[in-house]
Amino acid sequence: MSGETVSGETVSGETVRGETSRALVLERFGSLPRLIERPLPPPQPGHTVVRMLAAQVGHLDLNIVDGRFGILPDLPVVPGTNGSGIVLSSDTHPEGSLVRVNGKGVGLRRDGCWAEHAVVPDAAVKAVPEGTDPALACGFFSPAGTAWAAVHSVAAVRPGERVLVTGAAGAVGALTVQVAARAGAEVIGVVGRPAKLDHVPAPTKPVLAAELSPETVGGQVDVLIDTVGGSVLRDALDLVRPRGRAVLVGYTAGREFAVDLADFLLADVALLPVNLMTRGREVAADAERLLAELSAGELTLPIERHSPDRLAEAVTRLRTGEAMGKVVLDLS
Ligand SMILES: NC(=O)c1ccc[n+]([C@@H]2O[C@H](COP(=O)([O-])OP(=O)(O)OC[C@H]3O[C@@H](n4cnc5c(N)ncnc54)[C@H](OP(=O)(O)O)[C@@H]3O)[C@@H](O)[C@H]2O)c1
């Protein structure tokens, strides 16, 4: 995938490959996008052309590919709500600079980042410090912003509180346990399979979901931050103290769970949603700060890299919960 050109110009001394570009194109909801060679997307006013280097494969992207999300694009479409790359042409962003792309309907209402080239609204493009790993640049914002929003904006975790985090070896979960620990909480991290116990970042106490009980958790918790949903949410809710808070982030293990309303009132636990789409601006500065710490190795976000022609494998690993952390397509 080398040798890029826009309007016939070479970029960073690379060889010109031609006026075509590879993209993963979704033609039917419920199928997987196909990798095709197509003409370079033409520049448009108010838009930036980005040579993508990396793109996230996230659960939101899979919900869109499956046609199971409240906002869906017209087909055919290039999925990919988060990516990173080099600016090829733009009226507002310096050419040759490293940027990340997300928001403004990218991968949701218009073509996204699962392509060598993307033409995206200028406002969807954000500067990233030079030297940042492109995979980290495209993958950090969703887990970092969501972890920060869950711990600080929604749960308002206080020092000394006990916080239970599910999916604690996942992308959002791994950052959530670290952000909660830094907020002064005692953190317990829940994982679904024994292989993940060693992948929960310190200083969290790891616990298997199948063994969740007041004994294994050490009594009730003040806060639950759930990234898994389904039956895991139902079981974990029982461990929250009366007047505690339960924050729902995701639903990888199931979109539904039944609540007995009488029990819900008796338990007196607030169940609160996190929506990064409505909180992205509010947490942007904090997420950027976390990026600096991730780059410096002071925080951990595991990343799996996959080639775009192995999309099916990447998707399977994410869907089954086998993936360790952020799943990223290497488009370089
Ligand atoms: N609310 C928001 O604004 C927002 C923002 C970002 C992400 N999210 C959502 O948060 C959730 C977690 O995102 P993430 O990026 O952290 O994902 P992730 O890295 O894949 O982690 C999700 C975890 O869910 C668990 N899991 C249980 N059953 C699963 C199954 N059947 N398939 C896949 N995973 C399963 C896995 O942990 P165990 O194996 O340990 O159980 C997995 O590590 C997703 O639902 C995502 O859409 C929401």
Give residue 19's pLDDT: 85
- How many residues are present in the chain? 332
Closest ligand 1 atom to residue 320 Cα is 32
Retrieve residue 105's tokens.
Answer: 């309907």
In sequence order, the 6+-apart residues with CB closer than 8 A to the CB of 132 are: 84, 98, 291, 295
Q: Which residue has the tokens 């500065």?
A: 285
Closest ligand 1 atom to residue 59 Cα is 47
The one-letter amino acid at 49: V
HSE (CB half, 13 Å, CA atoms) of 261? 0
Which residue's CA lies nearest to atom 38 of ligand 1? 192
Is residue 269 within 8 A of residue 242, CB to CB? The reply is: yes
Give residue 18's pLDDT: 61
Cβ–ligand 1 contact at 251 (below 6 Å): yes
- Regions of the chain short of the pLDDT cut 70: 1-18
* CB neighbours of residue 189 within 10 Å: 27
Give residue 91's pLDDT: 94
Cβ–ligand 1 contact at 247 (below 6 Å): no
Q: State the CATH architecture for 142-277.
A: 3-Layer(aba) Sandwich (3.40)
In sequence order, the 6+-apart residues with CB closer than 8 A to the CB of 193 are: 208, 321
Cβ–ligand 1 contact at 81 (below 6 Å): no
Q: Which residue has the tokens 């410096």?
A: 296
Give residue 16's pLDDT: 36
The fold of the 5-133+302-330 domain, in CATH, is: Quinone Oxidoreductase; Chain A, domain 1 (3.90.180)
Q: Distance (Å, rounded) from C-alpha 150 to C-alpha 179?
A: 9
Give residue 13's pLDDT: 32
Is residue 23 within 8 A of residue 38, CB to CB? The reply is: yes
Q: How far apart are the first and last CA of the chain?
A: 6
Pocket mutation for ligand 1, best pick of 252, 278, 322 (most atoms within 8 Å of C-beta)? 252
- Angular region, 8: left φ>0, alpha ψ -120 to 50, beta rest: left
In sequence order, the 6+-apart residues with CB closer than 8 A to the CB of 58 are: 81, 82, 142, 171, 318, 326, 327
Q: Distance (Å, rounded) from C-alpha 236 to C-alpha 213?
A: 8
Pocket mutation for ligand 1, best pick of 63, 154, 227 (most atoms within 8 Å of C-beta)? 227
Q: Distance (Å, rounded) from C-alpha 237 to C-alpha 267?
A: 9
Give residue 14's pLDDT: 39
Pocket mutation for ligand 1, best pick of 198, 228, 301, 326 (most atoms within 8 Å of C-beta)? 228
Asked, colleague to colleague, whether 5-133+302-330 and 142-277 share their fold, the answer is no
* CB neighbours of residue 111 within 10 Å: 23
Strands 326-330 and 47-57: antiparallel
The DSSP code sequence of 108-173 is: TTB--SSBSEEEEEGGGEEE--TT--HHHHHHSHHHHHHHHIIIIIIS---TT-EEEEESTTSHHH
Pocket mutation for ligand 1, best pick of 142, 172, 324 (most atoms within 8 Å of C-beta)? 172
Cβ–ligand 1 contact at 275 (below 6 Å): yes
Which residue's CA lies nearest to atom 27 of ligand 1? 253
Is residue 178 within 8 A of residue 140, CB to CB? The reply is: no
For 287-311, letters b (16+ CB in 10 Å) and e give bbebbeebbeeebebebbbbebeeb
Q: Distance (Å, rounded) from C-alpha 277 to C-alpha 214?
A: 34
Cβ–ligand 1 contact at 169 (below 6 Å): yes
pLDDT tens, 232-285?
999 999 999 999 999 999 999 998 989 999 999 999 999 999 999 999 999 999
Is residue 222 within 8 A of residue 245, CB to CB? The reply is: yes
Give residue 146's pLDDT: 98
CA 41 to ligand 1 center in whole angstroms = 33
Cβ–ligand 1 contact at 301 (below 6 Å): no
Q: C-alpha angle with apex 186: 182 to 225, nearest 5 degrees?
A: 85
Domain layout of the chain by residue ranges: 5-133+302-330, 142-277
